[in-house]
Structure 1
Amino acid sequence: MHFYAGQRRRKQQLMAFVLSSICLFLFWMMFLSEREPSDVYLLQQSLSFTCYFYQKKIVSGNLCQNLCQRRNLYIDQCLSCETQYKVFTGQLYTAGSEDRSNILIKHFQVDDRPLYLDSDMFHSEEDLRGAISSHLQLKFGQFHFEGLIRAILILADSDNNEHISRAEARTMISLMMNNDFIMTVVLAGNDKVPNLIGYCGDIFVTEGVDSYRLQADAESWDLFTSLPPWPTRVRIAVSILEFVEDIQDLFLGNLLLCSLSDASIGLVSEEASFYNLEWLASETQIREHLKYHPCLSSEDCTYGPNCATQCGPMGMCISNTTRINLPQTCSILETFITRGAPRTFYPKLKGLVDRCISMDPARKDIFMEHSLVLNDLKNSLWYEIHLL
């Protein structure tokens, strides 16, 4: 009797387990069906809309065939999803072969109609040229843009027939609303920025990177040996400092890194790669954004996480402010380059980094100081690894 009673209990327990598993599965399926669509799904929907408008000859782009006809572009995951501006990882397969390359797919995801549907006022190349010039002046101020405008017009001619159609004009204007796209074009040829591969509609694609974070295992340094060797870290750090130097005195003035963290710097081999330029801004761009901006405190006077000014006595943001990139850069690099440094070099290196972090943007000679500190740090690092 005890044997049969034990069997019944086991059957009841098994049945209860099966029923609870089924209920849990059904609950999970209901949760998945009711939650918001994923970022990858939203991008796929945007690609479908873009391909529809491409077939209707409303938009264009040198990658439209890859996206819409050959379908040899694949999306992996959303890399940067904190804002409406999304950066995805993916692969682009070479037609007729198994060769593929890692890419970044970039798109400003909004619920409203795409920008290119509102860009129907361009009837000639001169209309487009004028619109590009006006947009660049708003973003960078009064500079000579002829070379940059020519480069953008060449990009706009996606079928290389030396004629810009309405679809090409619409497409280029919608892309120019994307700050990352403009900065990618401005910094074309800079080896710290992934090259532009192409675009279709308001979606554009750049080269991928090997690693998408400078210090992926920073929190576990004490438990695991996850850092690259110190000389490798120095080469990476120097490449970051070189990029800061490149954008400090550009032909369009100074560019400011208004969102800089270890998570925004990728790696290609032993070189830094700034793969998301959404918050790279000119001084003019920041000034225009903050001008006449009402405020209750200085927290209301920000442009991106790292660019901020003060709230003035009249309740308006003070737009004329000086900011430099180096202190924030050195704050990110401090542990990265001081940990594991040679014992004889550590005191000098720590002093250089501390001097860099404590730089005061309000100094009258701040740009000279910026150059001196940057060169001292960069040259000292190079000299030290050449001794090893």
Structure 2
Amino acid sequence: LQGRLPGIKVKYLLVVWLGIFVGSWVAYMHYSSYSELCRGHVCRMIICDQYKKGIISGSACKDLCEERGLLFQHCLSSSPSQQVYRGLWRDREVIIKCGIGEALRADSRPDSVPRRDVVLFDKPTRGTSMDEFKEMLLNFLKSKLGDQPSLPALVSRIITMADVNRDKKVSLAEAKSIWALLQLNEFLLMFSLHEKEHTAKLLGHCGDLYVTEKIPHTSLYGVDVPPFLQSLLPSLAHQLIHQWFAPAWPRRAKIAIGLLEFVEEIFHGTYGSFYICESSLRNVGYNDKYDFKM
């Protein structure tokens, strides 16, 4: 028995060493993936650099760049070029979204810095009159939403949002910021549907970074199965998990009714018809009152 102990100890050491190696590899891969996807510091650096130069403006700029009142907390990004963070602003949980794809080096390394030669906010140009800017907006909306009779009203709302300091004028920085935001399909859709109770509310912006309310429940079911388990679990197990963690039937019915109301609103909406291209469970949420949110 004593003669076998050294061999057993060696086996234990090998197992421990293998466990440490695998754990270190998993930790390294997790860190590499996080560093690749989560670049909130780059987003803040780009936006604040443009803000300090007077190129952009917005209702969230001062809190983001001067007072540090808009905080990036938890990374939710699924792509390096589109940064999504859960954050805190004015004692309220929010979602922060910022695109940095055009501002990174071609090699897309995690430690890469913004290219100085990239112009993120090039329109409208200096010397553009208010009437010309309104015409730009109207033509842009027609190309995106079709020739709707309600578009002039939407242009007026855009001008109102762009006027951050409420002086009834739109500065060049304010115009550049709102124009950059409108190039984002998600922002344009959210802005067009602002009157609908089933869409997240826009809370502020700075350049092409914008802040929305945080939806308490971002999935139709109460628990998300980790991706590595989804392929291992049989369909019956998925159904059981959904049944266990989903809201009660009356609450699910309320969410479903909200979804039907939302579809009716966007199909023949004020600014044209919209279509839901991606309706997976991860894109369907609800608030604490079980009101549907998209």
Specify the TM-score bucket, using the shorter chain as the normaliser: 0.7 to 0.9
2:41 to 29, 40, 44: 44
Which amino acid is 1:121 matched to?
T
1:248 to 267, 270, 284: 267
CA contact under 8 A between 1:221 and 1:227: conserved in structure 2? no
* CA distance in 1 between partners of 2:186 and 2:283 (Å): 13
Equivalent residue runs for 1:1-388 within 5 Å: 37-40=35-38, 42-79=39-76, 81=78, 84-92=81-89, 94=90, 100-112=91-103, 116-123=120-127, 124-144=129-149, 145-217=151-223, 220-222=238-240, 225-268=244-287, 269-274=289-294
CA contact under 8 A between 2:83 and 2:97: conserved in structure 1? yes
CA contact under 8 A between 1:189 and 1:195: conserved in structure 2? no
Structure 1 residue 11, shift from structure 2 partner = 9.1
Structure 2 partner of 1:281? none
Match of 1:118, SS state, is coil
**Distance change (3 Å), C-alpha of 1:260 and 1:31:** closer
* CA distance in 1 between partners of 2:186 and 2:177 (Å): 15
Match of 1:242, SS state, is helix
Which amino acid is 2:132 matched to?
D
* CA distance in 2 between partners of 1:77 and 1:37 (Å): 13
Structure 1 partner of 2:108? none
Which amino acid is 2:131 matched to?
E
* CA distance in 1 between partners of 2:20 and 2:273 (Å): 61
**Distance change (3 Å), C-alpha of 1:146 and 1:222:** same
1:237-262 CA distance string (max 9 Å, x none): 00110001111111222211112122
1:257-297 CA distance string (max 9 Å, x none): 112122101111211111xxxxxxxxxxxxxxxxxxxxxxx
Compare relative contact order (CA 8 Å, sep 6+) and give the higher one, 1 or 2.
Answer: 2
Whichever of the two has the greater Rg, that structure is 1
1:348-386 CA distance string (max 9 Å, x none): xxxxxxxxxxxxxxxxxxxxxxxxxxxxxxxxxxxxxxx
Which amino acid is 2:240 matched to?
D
Structure 1 residue 9, shift from structure 2 partner = 8.3
1:94-148 CA distance string (max 9 Å, x none): 2xxxxx2121112233144666432251433223212211110100111231111
* CA distance in 2 between partners of 1:253 and 1:89 (Å): 31
Structure 1 residue 77, shift from structure 2 partner = 3.3
**Distance change (3 Å), C-alpha of 1:34 and 1:244:** closer
CA contact under 8 A between 1:115 and 1:174: conserved in structure 2? no
Structure 1 residue 170, shift from structure 2 partner = 1.0
CA contact under 8 A between 2:254 and 2:290: conserved in structure 1? yes
1:182-234 CA distance string (max 9 Å, x none): 11211112110111100001100111111011124485442562221211111
CA RMSD of aligned residues (A): 3.1
CA contact under 8 A between 1:102 and 1:209: conserved in structure 2? no
1:12-68 CA distance string (max 9 Å, x none): 88987887787678767765776673433x232111111111111111100001111
**TM value normalised by structure 1:** 0.60
Alignment: residue pair count: 264
**Distance change (3 Å), C-alpha of 1:31 and 1:257:** closer
Match of 2:245, SS state, is coil
Match of 1:76, SS state, is strand
**Distance change (3 Å), C-alpha of 1:20 and 1:175:** same
The percentage of aligned residue pairs carrying the same residue is: 24
Which amino acid is 2:162 matched to?
A
